[in-house]
Amino acid sequence: MIENTKCECGHNNPIGTILCEYCGKPLDEGQQEKKSIEKEMRYDGVARRSQKKEQNFLDRVWSFFSSVKVAIILIVITLLASGIGTIFEQERLTGSSDPESYYIEKYGVWGEWYYKLGFSDMYNSWWFATLLAMIGVSLVICSLDRVVPLYRALKNQTVPKSTHFILRQRISHQETLKAEDKEEKWKKLIGALKKKRYEVRQEGNSILAEKGRISRWGPYINHIGLIIFLVGVLLRFIVPGWYLEQALYIREGETLRLPDTPYYLKNEKFTVEMYEGEFSNVPKNYQTDAILYEKDKNGQLVPVHRHAIRVNHPLEYNELFLVQADYQMETTGLKLKVIEKQTKKNLGTFSVDFQKISANQVYKVGDLEIRALEYYPDFVLQNGRPATQSQEPNLPAFVFEVKAKGANEGEKSWVISGQDTSSLTPQNKYEIDLEGIETALSSGLLIRVDQSLPIIFAGGFICLIGLVMGFYWHHRRIWIKYEDGKIYLGSHTNKSWYSLRREIDQIAEQSGLRLKLTQE
């Protein structure tokens, strides 16, 4: 690269500089022969760390990640990978405990490979996280590699530039001008430039007109925003207690502890509302009227917050966030009827509430006393003995004692949901049968703590500010110089060249330069 860093104008440039920081003249011979220095102008020809000639390992890593080409390749790989993840639904959505056979059954050999290659849960995979991390590193290094030197260069701009520099710009022009006309032309030019809202600096026979420099900082600000965003996402995984996701089903009237939090919640009322008339199948509102409790020193529940949780109107309390997500119908009890076997007469009914049932609880039907002897919520026969598999009332079974009022001894009677048990006790006088199921709505809430959100959203908005700065402003510079009876004009922008040409045409027209860059 460039060995000689001292420019003819006498300025000493740092190693790696392409265009003299002071007068803008290309520093090496090869550059001087080029017709255009547009490529070099991108970062004003300043030295960047990634372009050091001698590189150790760290420098090479730095160079790798500082390349925009690498950044684009990373973006494209992430893009393609994300797309692949939407071909079949992700594991999380299948609701299957055995995803492999789910994919094979549903999508055949494609599904099998989809699962085997790890695409079925790819957004949580190590390699996808690595991709995002690499983009993050690339964002940091790309930005640092450019923003520091660019900032220095733009801050220390000098007004007089060498004619080499001006004439090698993508837009350049020269025409002869008599010395006596110079003052007049200068005035007109400055007037025209100011009218186009340029900031004009003058030094001797040189003009530097500049506007929209803010646009140059846009990319760095938006990249900083993205870095903050990614850091916020990362923090969710490494700071304990920053992130929590739990689902909870809670019935009307129930008070439950919110798992992994110090809070308790009471569901006072759950409402499902439908639209009226022809849209009676369209839901209008799901609402849980909830009270949030905390325990005080004595272990007493103290209400701290009340809220009607609706879709789009979550409960927010400190870091806690409760969202109306779902509801389901739950069986809360059974309605049973007692029949006198001989007469087939229905003697009456009684209700068993799974939550409230206790040993030796007595239900009354007419003159009969019915005592609950045993209750198996999730009935199963183990080695010929009745047992329960869980405390969920999936297959409730009971042993009741039915006794007439005043009688000393009653008769035992089995009730197993979904089974005819009359053959177990053929000599019984009474039979207990299922009359109906008692149900209640259970509200499905999502319990969420996400302490990263402020960071994540702040990152998003910083990114947006950067994008707006970068894309809604344009950095434009015009250098004008009068030397040896000639007027030189060169101009540079980082984007939208046509608009710049059109603007220079207008300036030229107003100041009487023989210059026409665009044709209609």
Partner 1 sequence: MERLMENLLLFTFILYLCAFIAFAIAISGKKIKDQKKKERRWGNIAIGVTIAGVACHLAFTITRILVTGHFPTSNMFEFTTFLCFAIVLAFIVIFFIYRSVVLGAFAMPLALIILAYAAVFPREVQPLIPALQSYWLVIHVGLTALASGMFAVGFVAGLIYLINQVGNQKQGRNGFFLEIILLATLMFVGFIFTNLISSSMGYEAQIAHIVDGEQQVQSYEIPPLVGPADGQVQKMTPFLGLDKPLMEAPAWMKGHESAKLLNSTLWGILVGLLLYGLIRLIARKRISSLLHPLIKDWNPELIDEISYRSTAIAFPIFTLGALIFAMIWAHEAWGRFWGWDPKEVWALITWLFYSAYLHLRLSRGWHGIRSAWLVVGGFLVIMFNQIFINLVVSGLHSYA
Q: Which residues bind to partner 1, rule: CB under 8 A? A: 39, 42, 68-69, 71-72, 75-76, 78-79, 82-83, 85-86, 89-90, 107-108, 123, 245, 275, 279, 282-286, 310-314, 321, 323-325, 446, 448, 450, 453, 456-457, 460-461, 463-464, 467-468, 471-472, 494-499, 518-520
Residue 458, CA atoms < 13 Å, CB-side half-sphere: 11
Please identify, using beta-carbon distances, which residue of 11 and 213 lies nearer to partner 1: 213
Please state the closest distance from residue 58 (CB atom) to partner 1, in A.
Answer: 24
Residue with tokens 């860093």: 5
Q: Could you tell me which residues are beta bridge partners of residue 403? A: 369
Q: Could you tell me which residues are beta bridge partners of residue 480? A: 207, 489
Cα angle 174-179-184, degrees, rounded to a multiple of 5: 85
Please state the closest distance from residue 14 (CB atom) to partner 1, in A.
Answer: 23
Please state the closest distance from residue 108 (CB atom) to partner 1, in A.
Answer: 7
Please identify, using beta-carbon distances, which residue of 140 and 301 lies nearer to partner 1: 140
Please state the closest distance from residue 91 (CB atom) to partner 1, in A.
Answer: 11
Residue 489, CA atoms < 13 Å, CB-side half-sphere: 24
Please identify, using beta-carbon distances, which residue of 131 and 399 lies nearer to partner 1: 131
Please state the closest distance from residue 1 (CB atom) to partner 1, in A.
Answer: 20
Please state the closest distance from residue 27 (CB atom) to partner 1, in A.
Answer: 22
Cα–Cα separations (whole angstroms), residue 318 to 13, 85, 262: 56, 35, 12
Please identify, using beta-carbon distances, which residue of 325 and 480 lies nearer to partner 1: 325
Please identify, using beta-carbon distances, which residue of 179 and 282 lies nearer to partner 1: 282
Please state the closest distance from residue 43 (CB atom) to partner 1, in A.
Answer: 10
Please identify, using beta-carbon distances, which residue of 280 and 427 lies nearer to partner 1: 280
Please identify, using beta-carbon distances, which residue of 229 and 376 lies nearer to partner 1: 229
Please identify, using beta-carbon distances, which residue of 69 and 385 lies nearer to partner 1: 69
Cα angle 57-62-66, degrees, rounded to a multiple of 5: 150
Please state the closest distance from residue 476 (CB atom) to partner 1, in A.
Answer: 14
Please identify, using beta-carbon distances, which residue of 225 and 410 lies nearer to partner 1: 225
Residue with tokens 């790819």: 122
Q: Angle formed by the axes of helices 126-155 and 68-84, to 10°?
A: 150
Q: Do the bridges between strand 476-483 and strand 315-317 make them parallel or antiparallel, or are there none, so unpaired?
A: unpaired
Please provide the DSSP assignment of 129-169 as one string.
Answer: HHHHHHHHHHHHHHHHHHHHHHHHHHHT--S---HHHHHTS
Please identify, using beta-carbon distances, which residue of 63 and 324 lies nearer to partner 1: 324
Please state the closest distance from residue 76 (CB atom) to partner 1, in A.
Answer: 6
Please identify, using beta-carbon distances, which residue of 71 and 508 lies nearer to partner 1: 71
Q: Do the bridges between strand 430-450 and strand 362-365 make them parallel or antiparallel, or are there none, so unpaired?
A: unpaired
Please state the closest distance from residue 192 (CB atom) to partner 1, in A.
Answer: 21
Q: Could you tell me which residues are beta bridge partners of residue 202? A: 207
d(CA 355, CA 343): 34
Please identify, using beta-carbon distances, which residue of 255 and 496 lies nearer to partner 1: 496
The helix or strand, by DSSP H or E, that contains position 403, with its residue range, turns out to be strand 397-404
Q: Do the bridges between strand 263-274 and strand 283-295 make them parallel or antiparallel, or are there none, so unpaired?
A: antiparallel
Residue with tokens 């009971």: 398
Please state the closest distance from residue 286 (CB atom) to partner 1, in A.
Answer: 6
The helix or strand, by DSSP H or E, that contains position 461, with its residue range, turns out to be helix 453-472
d(CA 80, CA 87): 11
> Dihedral through CA 176, CA 181, CA 186, CA 189, nearest 10?
-70
d(CA 136, CA 132): 6
Whether residue 401 contacts residue 428, with contact meaning beta carbons closer than 8 Å, is answered with: no
For 284, the token pair is 């209008």
Please state the closest distance from residue 52 (CB atom) to partner 1, in A.
Answer: 20
